[in-house]
Copies of this chain bind each other. A is one copy, B any other.
Amino acid sequence: MTAAEETWPGLRFPDEEYAERNRRFRSALAAAELDAVVLSDDRVTWWLTGFGDVAPIGSAARPRILVLPAGSEPAFFVHRSTLRCVVEMSAVPDVRGHAALGAAPVAELSDFLAERDCRRVGFELAGELRPAMAAGDIAALAERVEEARDGSPVVWSVRMVKSKAEVERIRAACQVTTRAYARGLPSLRPGMTERRAAAILKSALADEGADAGWCWVASGRGEFDRIDGVVRERALEAGDLVFVDMGANVGGYWADFSRACVLGRATPSMRRLQELVAEVTDHGVRAVVPGTTAGEVARAVGDAMAERGLEFSSRAGRYGHGLGLSVTEPPNIWVDDGTVIETGMVLTIEPGTWTEEGMFHCEQDVLVTDAGPEVLSLAPVELTEV
């Protein structure tokens, strides 16, 4: 075990893991006919260097930039005040300190690309990435290279397929989340607010071992088209279906699945709808096999919804998405996404419908394997009565 692994157990992977990621990344660069890529999204730099933690973004005052040439060793540009820490934790040995505060060292980056003769350079221009480099700095650097292109397809072609070690963290995050549902849902009561319910469930995630956690609670009748809603002060009422979507982070990797409980007895129609949505979800899960596309999975889910007379009511624009270092990442499980499903991808499947009785949606996290899909989100999908 390396010193870095001993110092950051549970965060830092073995050096060979980063070597393999960099090898795969370089092959993808070569295939895309790019000489290099400039990366600063904190999830991406953590994934490739090993330096970072579970927070989704780092300090805006000190952006970190990794330049990864297809044909030579990468260099990691960080603020000089952070040099010692980065060197200790990073699997990329060439770490260079600079003095720019709240900005990227554009001239130094440009010189590095020129020294390495990188003419066709990819940048984080799309693909749901959140570069730490300011948009103006990206544009200024892009102007100094012969050909600037969007590097996000290369990032995702590699990041979408998880290693065994990454899968183990997502599996652990799902296990923590499953235990937190078992611990938290039975303690919800009428009169409690959604905000209090969310606090209880987040506390359950922490108690079960999450390094971080998120939780969204939506309750009430006929009020469920609330995608991206912020948890409210609304008091839960007897008879309410309380919909919960949450996930633990373990070692940087997320779970993301929803369950629901009823404060009292579930009505027969509530049970029936939950069953139907679970069936459709399972249909989608079984469609996730290597060689198919995200679009084909979406069509299978849509057909299963229609056969059961269910309307896809959330209009969320998709039936699921990729999962890993971000709670939501490419691909999108939707008809226009042609991403080919590969072994090692982890995807969520989450068709939903709502009625006057509540939101019916039981998201699953699924690992694609050669032997078929494996559901990682093992909490029971039946409505819990509390």
Q: Which A residues form the contact surface with B (CB < 8 A)?
A: 6-9, 11, 51-53, 55-62, 78-82, 84-86, 89, 99, 101-103, 123-132, 134-139, 150, 203, 206, 214, 225-234, 314-318, 321, 326-330, 332, 334
Contacts of A203 in B (CB 8 A): 206
Of chain B, the residue at the smallest CB distance from A321 is B61
CB-CB < 8 A to A328: which residues of B?
A: 59-61
CB distance A61 to B128 under 8 Å? Answer: yes
Assess whether B60 is in contact with A228, with CB atoms less than 8 Å apart. Answer: no
Residues on B with C-beta less than 8 A from A103 are 126
| A-B contact sample (5 more), CB < 8 A, given A79-B317, A102-B127, A135-B139 | A59-B327, A60-B329, A81-B317, A99-B317, A125-B136
Which chain B residues lie closer than 8 Å to A8 at the CB level?
Answer: 230, 232-233
Q: Indicate which residue in B61, B81, B82, B125 contacts A134 across the interface (CB closer than 8 Å).
A: B125
Q: In the complex, which residue of chain B has the Cβ closest to the Cβ of A99?
A: B317
Q: Is B130 in contact with A126, judged by CB distance below 8 angstroms?
A: no
- Asked if B81 and A330 sit within 8 Å, CB to CB, the answer is no
Could you give 5 example pairs across A and B, Cβ below 8 Å? A8-B230, A8-B233, A60-B328, A79-B228, A124-B135
> Is the CB–CB distance between B60 and A332 below 8 Å?
no
The residues of B that contact A226 with a CB separation of less than 8 Å are 84-85
* Residues in B neighbouring A334, C-beta threshold 8 A: 101
Copies of this protein, total: 2
- Answer whether A128 and B60 are a contact pair too, CB < 8 Å, given A315-B80, A330-B102: yes
**Chain B residues, CB < 8 A from A84:** 225-226
Bound complex: CA A113 to CA B305 (Å): 40
- Cross-chain contact B228 with A81 (CB below 8 angstroms): yes
Once bound together, how far apart are the Cα atoms of A126 and B214, in whole Å? 29
With A and B bound together, what is the CA distance between A99 and B335 in angstroms?
13
**How far is the CB of A218 from the nearest CB of chain B, in Å?**
9
A57 vs B134: C-alpha distance when bound (angstroms): 15
Q: How far is the CB of A296 from chain B (nearest CB, A)?
A: 18
Task: Looking at the assembled complex, report how far the CB atom of A204 sits from the nearest CB atom of chain B, in whole angstroms.
Answer: 13
Out of B89, B124, B332, name the residue touching A61 (CB < 8 Å).
Answer: B332
Q: A60-B129, A227-B82 are in contact. Are A332 and B136 (CB under 8 A)?
A: no
Cβ of B125 and Cβ of A135 under 8 Å apart?
A: yes
Task: Give chain B residues whose Cβ lies under 8 Å from the Cβ of A137.
Answer: 126
Residue on B with the closest CB to A137?
B126
